[in-house]
Amino acid sequence: MAKIFNVAAVCRPEQHYMVDISGRLEQIKQMVDAGQYFTINRARQYGKTTTLKALTKFLDKDYVAVNLDFQRMSYSDFRNEETFVMAFARELSYMLRWRKDIPEEILEKLEMLAEGNVKNLVLSVLFRYFNQWCQESKKKIVLMIDEVDSASNNQVFLDFLALLRVNYIDRDEVPTFHSVILAGVYDVKNLKRKLTAEAGHKAYSPWNNSPWNIAADFIVDMSFSVKDITGMLLEYESDHKTGMNVSQIAEMLYEYTSGYPFLVSRLCKLIDERISGSAEFQDKQAAWTRSGFLKAVHLLLKEKNTLFESLVNKLSDYPELRTMIYSLLFAGKAIPYTPLNPSIQIAEMFGFVKQSEDDAVISNRIFETILYDLFLSEELLNHKMYDAGLKDKTQFIQNGRLNMELVLEKFVTHFDDLYGDQDKTFYEDDGRRYFLLYLRPIINGSGNYYIEAETRNRERTDVVVDFGGEQLIVELKVFAPGALSIKVYENGKCVGQVRMPPSAGGEERY
């Protein structure tokens, strides 16, 4: 069976084109060897489940590695200790019954718990069986639990974690799991916020004695590097002989995604299955090019997927997050990266931002464009500048090329007609946003744009426009208090310039 790029569920090396994660697995194994208790918390669709599945096999030679998924348990399983113990024992016995290195007595006791054939179905009984199993096992036992977020609004879950902590602390006196790994989106700093936000959750929560104050830092980089992506593309190229420039495509994939696993794989899948064979790109050779890649970016930005929906939903759930993201995008504010800042914690946890030197920045170009489009779309229907761009759009496309110089001239004319009586601050703060509102209907359906992160600040913003296989750079720069200059660069040469307001003078500030 031919391999494909996978963006749904677990990736399997025999079925899917994957990056080589053996180095990451070795790093995690070193933490396991040290007997550490830790959490793997990353944003949605970041490869957590695939990593845990692969880690289970990777550890099997030296350990009894048990990988449970809390999504296999229903909400009713967490009603109380009795239902939780039965459900946990059921899932555990199911995972263990295929192994030949589990004491038969342990399997029998777990099955009795699962069926409710024990007088006291409480957590302490379950943990006594754990202790007995750890004592009798010839190999040390590693417990891994995936999707812990799905259970975290239940008090019984906290009680379970508290007992894990007690056993871990007493591991010199009590036989217990050698290492514990919990995986989910929420990290140890933010799970409390999720719990307190859940309706109906108990007020009691023993955070000072929680399992999190014994958790080791998990610093393994799970994003894909250019080298990782190159290795995956080389395997694909070996199978399909497209003649692609592997290093160029790998670099572009990284530039647009910053190595976010889902985004890398999704773009590759779009090129392979949607772009290749289309009217514009008739075969794989034509698709695996710069033009084919940019077309895939365009398709990705227009699709509705669970990752993008999750991003949007989080902006509604956390108003402070929305305010911070808006400031990052439109106000040109440099926000210092402060890990104790709750808004930055939330933004980083959900994948919105990352640390770049000392600042918090949007994680990647794809997310940035999605967020720009989202905020701008909320203004489109009733915005005169968008209407003007929509009305003018047909005159700017000439022989398949975008006449950006004419775009600038028309934009400044409309802006001056509509907002010429505004104060200086309006020109400086709103001019950039209104330019994007004017530009969007012009390139919509035929091109992409993104903001060059290194130049986005209160005095300068570079908008990079990909259209018709060409790339234009639009430089928006404050050149005097309350005044903006807009220049267009093509192949490094300035081919057009306007100023707002048209009467403004002064020198540009660099």
Render 345-366 in DSSP notation, one character per residue: HHHHHTTSEEEETTEEEES-HH
Contact of 330 with 372, CB cutoff 8 Å: no
Are 48 and 99 members of one domain?
yes
Written as tens digits, the pLDDT of the chain (510 aa) is: 789 999 988 999 999 999 999 999 999 999 999 999 998 988 999 999 999 999 999 999 999 999 999 988 988 898 899 999 999 999 999 999 888 889 999 999 999 999 999 888 999 999 999 999 999 999 999 999 998 877 666 788 888 988 998 999 999 999 999 999 999 887 555 555 555 555 444 433 433 445 456 678 888 999 999 999 999 999 999 999 999 999 999 999 999 999 999 999 999 999 999 999 999 999 999 999 999 999 999 999 999 999 999 999 999 988 999 999 988 888 767 789 988 888 888 899 899 999 988 889 999 999 999 999 899 888 876 688 899 999 999 899 888 889 999 999 999 888 888 877 776 666 666 777 888 899 999 998 788 888 887 777 767 888 999 988 788 999 988 877 777 888 999 888 998 888 877 666 544 433
What is the per-residue pLDDT for 123?
95
Cis peptide bond upstream of 206, omega within 30: no
Tally the domains of the chain: 4
Contact residues for 98 (Cβ-Cβ < 8 A; gap 6+): none
What is the per-residue pLDDT for 461?
84
d(CA 234, CA 228): 10
Query: Which among 190, 214, 238 is the end of a domain?
Result: 214
Nearest to 487 by CA among 505, 466, 508: 508
What is the per-residue pLDDT for 29?
98
What is the per-residue pLDDT for 128?
95
Contact residues for 360 (Cβ-Cβ < 8 A; gap 6+): 328, 335, 336, 337, 344, 347, 348, 353, 354
What is the per-residue pLDDT for 429?
62
What is the per-residue pLDDT for 202?
44
> Is the residue at 489 inside a domain?
yes
Nearest to 325 by CA among 356, 367, 383, 358: 367
> Is the residue at 138 inside a domain?
yes
**Partner residues linked to 500 by β-bridges:** 484
Phi-psi label, residue 147: left if phi above 0, alpha if psi -120 to 50, beta otherwise: left
Are 290 and 358 members of one domain?
no
Are 273 and 197 members of one domain?
no
What is the per-residue pLDDT for 345?
85
Q: At what angle do helices 155-169 and 123-136 cross, to 10 degrees?
A: 40
> Cα dist. 423→210, 483, 507 in Å?
54, 10, 20
Are 127 and 206 members of one domain?
yes
What is the per-residue pLDDT for 428?
60
- Cα dihedral angle (192, 196, 197, 201), rounded to 10 degrees? 120
> Is the residue at 116 inside a domain?
yes
- Cα dihedral angle (6, 10, 15, 21), rounded to 10 degrees? 90
Report the relative pairing of strands 37-41 and 179-184 from DSSP bridges. parallel
| Cα of 499 vs its chain's centroid, Å | 38
Query: Which among 302, 326, 346 is the end of a domain?
Result: 302
Query: Which among 189, 214, 239 is the end of a domain?
Result: 214
> Is the residue at 71 inside a domain?
yes
Q: Which long-range contacts (CB under 8 A, 24 or more apart) does 332-340 make?
A: 332/432, 332/456, 332/457, 332/458, 332/459, 332/461, 333/458, 334/359, 334/457, 335/359, 335/360, 336/360
Neighbour order of strands in the sheet with 359-362: 335-336, 359-362, 353-356
**Partner residues linked to 69 by β-bridges:** 146
What is the per-residue pLDDT for 341?
86
Are 356 and 389 members of one domain?
no
Residue type at 406 in one-letter notation: L
Are 241 and 351 members of one domain?
no
Look up the domain containing 184 and give its range: 22-214
> Is the residue at 3 inside a domain?
no
Burial class (CB in 10 A: 0-12, 13-18, 19+), 313: exposed
What is the per-residue pLDDT for 502?
64
Are 66 and 152 members of one domain?
yes
